Amino acid sequence: MDKLVFELPVSSTFDIERYDVAGHAEATARVYSHKGEWLQGPIQVTSPSGPRYTIGVFSLLDNLNSAYVDVRHTLLASPAAPQGFVPTINVHPNGWNQGEVKLVKAAVEKTWRELAGLIHCAFDVYGYHDIRVGAGSGSSSALVQAAIRATAADFGVSLRSEKLQSIHSEIERGADPLHLTKPAVVATRVNLGGCARPLGERTPRLTAVTWNAGSPVRTTSVKFEYSEDELLLWKVRWASLERAIRFDDDDRVARLATESARDNQTRNPKVDFELLEEAVASFGAAGFAVAHTGSYHTALFPADTAPAKLQAYVARVRSQSKGNNPVRGTVVDVQEFDTAQATERRFAQ
Amino acid sequence: MIYSSVREAARQPRLIYVSQKDHPNLIAVSFEFMKRIPASFCVERALHPPANYTLDPSGFFAAVQAPANASVHAATFERAGDKRLFLETSSGNMATGLAEICQQLKIPLLLLVPSEVDETTRKNLVELGARVEVIETMDQAQRVERLAELKQEQESQGWRVCWVQQYTNPNNRSSYWEVAEFLASELDRIDTLVAPVGTGGSSCGTAHYLRKAGFPRLKLVGVDACGSVNFDHEFTEFLMGGLGSTVTMPLVDHTAYDVVHWVDDVTAFAASINLFNQGLSVGGSSGAAFVAARHEASKSPDDVVLVFFPDHGRRYADSIRSDSWRRANNIDLSKAKNQPIPVTHPDQSDPSRPGIDAGWYRIDWRTYQKSKPSVHAR
């Protein structure tokens, strides 16, 4: 046991490490978040009662921010847990809020019950994340998934995706598709991010300029209501997205994201939306995306956009954003990155 | 491709490089019967009226209420029990589409069909189980008047009658989501869509969905019969079916079109026969659309231009492709036009006006429309 608790492992989708000595084991897991939904709308899936609609999401899975959880279990005196035993879980929050502590505790307990419920033990949990809460980047999902994975690894188990989803669904009703290893449209509200439409291997290559605009948004406060004709429009959009991603039409992906964002603006209006429109109208962006139930904005530029043009837009956002801070000119977290590279780094194992 | 049902297979168009040597940027979207799409959709919507959907706690959408603007065509029809009857007037293709779907669903259909409709088509409708009444006029207003009488007659006999009303039924337009889905799935680029305009359902419907699904700058080119009232002309006689109208069509959204072509019968029929001679059997409306699409493809060689061919040409052996029929109707194919005459105002191409002949005309509709926004906004 000579590992530094907060040492950051190399980048990958789910970094898991495990150390084991007699009576005591430790494992860590890292799960990356995302920058909101590029497209979000109704999608038809197969359910036990036939075809039904749920909410489908296509997100860019980057490697910019992550949740990191370290779980250690210590065996108690008697080896088998008595009936009705509930393990003590000491969470040592490192900037986590009360809700996050509760989620992590629930994740550790449910994972233990599912995988190692006969083992009589107690837990210490450490960790941190640098994901903005309520911005639509899946902070709670990342944290829960990291806690589940770390707990499973603590008992020497490498979880299948289905098992992870099953445990996760007992903790959160909806979850972000952070477990993916390839681009896909996922049904976030059903089977916790089950793949609704695989989109092949390739990630769109665009240059993203991302910033946080506005206050945290509670996903549960957003009303998801659509007319039947809107359901049909979304069938066309998902088909169009599938073609665009499979056949390298990155501009079309950006345009589809823009249409989804504009639709969303009528349901869940955001500040700084005019800055996104301005990116297309005046700065040569191919489109833009918003975290539909969050506050991240992303302007999407063609990959060959001149750096000077990008910097001009970043400067514009920094000076004009009304979202991040009440005083203009203090936006600090504008991030610029190549979308494909960010995804490739995340998926690299 | 393997289709999930016979109905789906029958509705699906073929994509054809129809003039690859001269116009490699031109792709035909060729249907056997395009009207199968709105026919099937309107019937299904009548049986299962649209609702609004909201996400329930299970994560699935559940129907909550009919939208405020729900189609009146569907009103209570789903609860009408067994004594339900569909009713419609059509010059052929919509009638065939309705007859097919009603036969499959085992729901009676009463059709009012103009006497100009060929005998083979009428026999086919009867064979599909439809009751057919023939009316001695192509005039849509008179046909609609007679339909209202028929509806009343049937209702007095205890039938719950659903009049499909393809001219005003918004489901006609909505049905083209599936064409848009097909095109968005199959093609990397769609810059221009050239479509015949009859009810306005196919052109406005397809363009609406494509523009909101990754093709926001799609250029829509409407092709109308010279003499039709769809685009600010007064009515004058024309022979073509499947495009043009003698009455105002509410589904024709004037704000959706960028360019309009008015094509005369002779030019359209000549193009249709040329296509037949090349091995592609289509009707007159396809011929009209083809000449317009070729022109647009030449004008913008870097754009991908799609053109709708709405129906197969087998119906037209005794009309468009018959020498005697053409002689009887004064159609001289040698007078077909090779180029459209550019105009800036519909009056300049309106054959009801003195000194203006039926011919092939083209207008930048959006520019014209901007000069008169209050007249055309719907």
Q: Domains, chain B, ranges and CATH? A: 6-30+176-373 (3.40.50.1100), 38-52+71-169 (3.40.50.1100)
Q: Is B245 helix (H, G, I), strand (E, B) or coil?
A: coil
Averaged pLDDT, A287-293: 91
A259/B55 CB distance under 8 A: no
Q: How many residues are listed for chain A in this entry?
A: 349
- A82: which DSSP letter? P
Query: Pick the residue with more confidence: B104 or B59?
Result: B104
Tell whether B213 lies on the interface with A, counting CB pairs under 8 A: yes
CA angle B336/B313/B349 to nearest 5° reads 35
Q: Is A76 helix (H, G, I), strand (E, B) or coil?
A: strand
- Amino acid A3: pLDDT: 34
B214/A173 CB distance under 8 A: no
- Report the residue of chain A nearest B214, measured CA to CA: A256
Query: DSSP strand E in chain A: where?
Result: 14-21, 24-32, 37-47, 50-59, 66-80, 89-91, 119-129, 184-187, 194-198, 206-212, 225-227, 287-290, 296-302, 335-338
Q: In angstroms, what separates the C-alpha of A52 from chain B's closest C-alpha?
A: 7
Residues B141, B235 contacting (CB under 8 angstroms): no
Residues B242, B121 contacting (CB under 8 angstroms): no
Strand partners for A119: A80
Helix (H) or strand (E) holding B54: strand B52-55
Mutation test of the interface with chain B: which of A240, A242, A264, A292, choosing the one with the most B Cβ atoms within 10 A?
A240
Using alpha carbons, list the distances in angstroms from residue B299 to A110, A205, B15, B23, B287.
66, 33, 21, 10, 19
Is the per-residue pLDDT at B238 higher than 80? Answer: yes
**Closest Cα partner for B169 from B149, B132, B199, B212?**
B199
B213/A225 CB distance under 8 A: no
Confidence of residue B177 (pLDDT cuts 50, 70, 90): very high
Is the per-residue pLDDT at A5 higher than 50? Answer: no
C-alpha–C-alpha distance, residues A194 and A165, integer Å: 8
Averaged pLDDT, A41-67: 86
**Closest Cα partner for A201 from A158, A160, A248, A154?**
A248
C-alpha–C-alpha distance, residues B250 and B231, integer Å: 12
Helix-, strand-, coil-residue percentages of chain A, each rounded to 5:
35, 30, 35
Tokens matching residue B359: 């011919």
Is the per-residue pLDDT at A105 higher than 90? Answer: yes
Tell whether A19 lies on the interface with B, counting CB pairs under 8 A: no
- Amino acid A288: pLDDT: 97
Tokens matching residue B281: 């059997």
Is the per-residue pLDDT at B76 higher than 80? Answer: no
A239/B50 CB distance under 8 A: no
Terminal C-alpha separation, chain B: 40
Within 90-149 of A, beta carbons closer than 8 Å to B belong to none
Tokens matching residue A274: 């005019």
C-alpha–C-alpha distance, residues A127 and A71, integer Å: 8
Q: Is B354 helix (H, G, I), strand (E, B) or coil?
A: coil
**Closest Cα partner for B331 from B275, B281, B271, B290?**
B271
Q: In angstroms, what separates the C-alpha of B135 from chain A's closest C-alpha?
A: 35
Residues B204, B211 contacting (CB under 8 angstroms): no
Which amino acid is residue B242, in one-letter code? G
Query: Pick the residue with more confidence: B110 or A318?
Result: B110
Helix (H) or strand (E) holding B104: helix B93-105
Averaged pLDDT, B353-363: 96
Tell whether B344 lies on the interface with A, counting CB pairs under 8 A: no
Averaged pLDDT, B141-167: 90
C-alpha–C-alpha distance, residues A301 and A288, integer Å: 8
Tell whether B47 lies on the interface with A, counting CB pairs under 8 A: no
Neighbours of B44 (CB within 10 A): 14
Query: Pick the residue with more confidence: B247 or B256?
Result: B256
- Report the residue of chain A nearest B52, measured CA to CA: A227
Residue in A173, A190, A255 closest to B60 by CB: A190
Is the per-residue pLDDT at A107 higher than 90? Answer: yes
Q: In angstroms, what separates the C-alpha of A113 from chain B's closest C-alpha?
A: 24
Minimum mean pLDDT range among A263-267, A340-344, B181-185: A340-344
Mutation test of the interface with chain B: which of A172, A221, A222, A236, choosing the one with the most B Cβ atoms within 10 A?
A236
Terminal C-alpha separation, chain A: 25
Confidence of residue B153 (pLDDT cuts 50, 70, 90): very high
- Amino acid A234: pLDDT: 97
C-alpha–C-alpha distance, residues B201 and B178, integer Å: 13
Residue in B50, B55, B188 closest to A247 by CB: B188
C-alpha–C-alpha distance, residues B227 and B239, integer Å: 10
Residues A245, A204 contacting (CB under 8 angstroms): yes
C-alpha–C-alpha distance, residues A88 and B364, integer Å: 75
Q: Which chain B residues are within 8 Å of A204, Cβ to Cβ?
A: none
Residue whose pair of structure tokens reads 């345009």 in the numeric block: A255
A259/B60 CB distance under 8 A: no
A244/B214 CB distance under 8 A: yes
ipTM rounded to 2 decimals: 0.91
- Amino acid A294: pLDDT: 82
Interval A211-247: pLDDT, tens: 888 765 555 566 788 998 999 999 999 999 999 998 9
Confidence of residue B247 (pLDDT cuts 50, 70, 90): confident
C-alpha–C-alpha distance, residues B349 and B343, integer Å: 7
Cβ–Cβ pairs < 8 A, chains A and B: 100
Interval A320-348: pLDDT, tens: 888 655 444 455 577 888 888 888 887 76
Is the per-residue pLDDT at B292 higher than 90? Answer: yes
- B338: which DSSP letter? S
- Amino acid A218: pLDDT: 58
Q: Is B95 helix (H, G, I), strand (E, B) or coil?
A: helix
C-alpha–C-alpha distance, residues B161 and B180, integer Å: 31
- Report the residue of chain B nearest A47, measured CA to CA: B60
Residues A35, A298 contacting (CB under 8 angstroms): yes
Q: Is B12 helix (H, G, I), strand (E, B) or coil?
A: coil
Ordered DSSP codes for B285-305: HHHHHHHHHHHHHHH-TTS-E
- Amino acid B367: pLDDT: 96
- Directed axis angle between helix B177-186 and helix A228-246, to 10°? 10
C-alpha–C-alpha distance, residues A100 and A30, integer Å: 15
Tokens matching residue B251: 């589904």
Residues B12, B3 contacting (CB under 8 angstroms): yes
Confidence of residue A139 (pLDDT cuts 50, 70, 90): confident
Q: Which chain B residues are within 8 Å of A255, Cβ to Cβ?
A: 214-216
- Amino acid B299: pLDDT: 97
Across chain A, mean pLDDT equals: 83
The alpha carbon of A287 is separated from its chain's Cα centroid by a whole number of angstroms, namely: 21
Residues A347, A339 contacting (CB under 8 angstroms): no
Is the per-residue pLDDT at A7 higher than 50? Answer: no
Q: In angstroms, what separates the C-alpha of A136 from chain B's closest C-alpha?
A: 18
Confidence of residue A19 (pLDDT cuts 50, 70, 90): low
Structural domains for chain A = 14-169 (3.30.230), 200-347 (3.30.70.890)
Q: How many residues are listed for chain B in this entry?
A: 378
Residue whose pair of structure tokens reads 């955001």 in the numeric block: A270
Q: In angstroms, what separates the C-alpha of A217 from chain B's closest C-alpha?
A: 18
- Amino acid B222: pLDDT: 98
Averaged pLDDT, B102-124: 90
Q: Which chain B residues are within 8 Å of A241, Cβ to Cβ?
A: 214
Using alpha carbons, list the distances in angstroms from residue B362 to B193, B200, B293, B373.
15, 18, 12, 19
Q: Which chain A residues are within 8 Å of B213, Cβ to Cβ?
A: 233, 236-237, 239-240, 256, 259
Helix (H) or strand (E) holding A231: helix A228-246
Neighbours of B251 (CB within 10 A): 22
Is the per-residue pLDDT at B217 higher than 50? Answer: yes
Tell whether A241 lies on the interface with B, counting CB pairs under 8 A: yes
- Amino acid A334: pLDDT: 79
- Tell me whether residue B173 is exposed, middle or buried, using C-beta atoms within 10 angstroms of its C-beta: 0 to 12, 13 to 18, 19 or more: buried
Residues A63, A345 contacting (CB under 8 angstroms): yes
Q: Which chain B residues are within 8 Å of A252, Cβ to Cβ?
A: 214
Tell whether B206 lies on the interface with A, counting CB pairs under 8 A: no
